[in-house]
Homo-oligomer: A and B are copies of this chain.
């Protein structure tokens, strides 16, 4: 055996997106990258805001003694303090530095939180469709990811979540604005969710509510409601990958609700998990930078225009989709022919259009397009989409 059985199995299983990615590269080589409409990857291409560049140059030049060395594993106190102010503005609760832990991106944060709050065999409930990596994050810590259906408009199905709650449930995980659907959960939906969890809690174990919200600041004419204020036993995990377009730098944070009764123990547990999982601390320079950028964001208008352009393209081709309220994904229904989402993705590929089958997100019969590409490319894909739909039987 060269590698572990579970990793070997995962490599075989994760071949769908990998295959898509590799075939995409092949197509680009063959036809030229400007001829391929690659909507497969959620890799933010909008430039970081000017403030980021200015702060980077300023802090690089500063050359402060020890500024690339270790700090407390939870992050610099002054950075945690600066973020607490941003979190308070967004979350409707009063946090301070002691409630914030810097993490090397949301993926790091979720892994640390999962490990910190779950015993092996515990369950985390997630509305379906969901971000494809959650299943692997849960598996890392021997947690069972339990899928709950959403409503037809991809809003939370409170009853479905209620039915999934049981004595093994450690947490309910929501992601809003949602990847892959672009749905933003309303304050009403979150309040109903909190209510049903509280009812369940009264029977015994207190369930955590976790929000993975790296897209919070990318929403289109709609307010993303505060999350922590909905439910006491709650945790937010977020990053600067989308709102500052820094996914390669791995910088994010975890915030716990000040109302959690045993919050110091929880924070210590999360910091311990970040340490022993090998994160140790979030990258030092990026911590210092984001502390100065709590009010900055990429130009959301660029994404909004792309969203509108993409909706036009799909309308013209007669493809149904959920109107995205946030994030940068369009979740589309496979036109009905009795064939699968994977077959439709293969069919689109013949027209040099790349998207990810909904099966990868737990939702067969759908397809995800990421609009992390130029508006012109989106507009230029219109003919290819029309031809693809016409020849799809």
Interface residues of A (CB under 8 A from B): 1-8, 10-11, 14, 41, 43-45, 47-48, 52-53, 56-57, 60-61, 63, 65-71, 104-105, 107-112, 115-119, 133, 136-137, 139-140, 142, 205, 245-250, 260-262, 265-266, 268-269, 272-273, 275-286
Contacts and interface: CB of A to CB of B under 8 A. Distances in A.
Nearest to A112: B278
Nearest to A60: B60
Contacts of A52: 68
A124 B168 CA distance: 32
Contacts of A111: 277-278
Q: Which has the most chain B C-beta neighbours within 10 Å: A6, A70, A260, A268?
A: A70
Contacts of A68: 48, 52, 245-249
A261 B2 CA distance: 9
Contacts of A262: 2-3
Contacts of A246: 68-69
A137 B272 CA distance: 12
A115 B142 CA distance: 13
Given A68-B247, A137-B276, 11 more contacts: A3-B116, A3-B117, A8-B265, A45-B69, A69-B248, A70-B247, A70-B248, A104-B104, A111-B278, A133-B276, A249-B283
B6 A108 contact: no
A244 to B, nearest CB: 8
Contacts of A5: 119
Assembly stoichiometry (copies) = 2
A283 B280 contact: no
B69 A105 contact: no
A279 B118 CA distance: 20
A250 B268 CA distance: 21
A265 B3 contact: yes
A109 B5 CA distance: 19
Contact of A116 (B7, B56, B61, B249): B7
Contacts of A268: 11
Given A265-B3, A278-B104, A279-B279, A57 B48 contact: no
Contact of A278 (B7, B67, B108): B108
Contact of A105 (B8, B56, B278): B278
Contact of A118 (B4, B43, B261, B275): B4
14 contacts: A1-B119, A2-B266, A4-B119, A8-B265, A10-B276, A11-B268, A11-B269, A60-B60, A68-B247, A69-B247, A140-B140, A248-B283, A250-B250, A250-B279
A375 to B, nearest CB: 17
Contacts of A14: 272
Given A118-B4, A283-B250, A61 B57 contact: yes
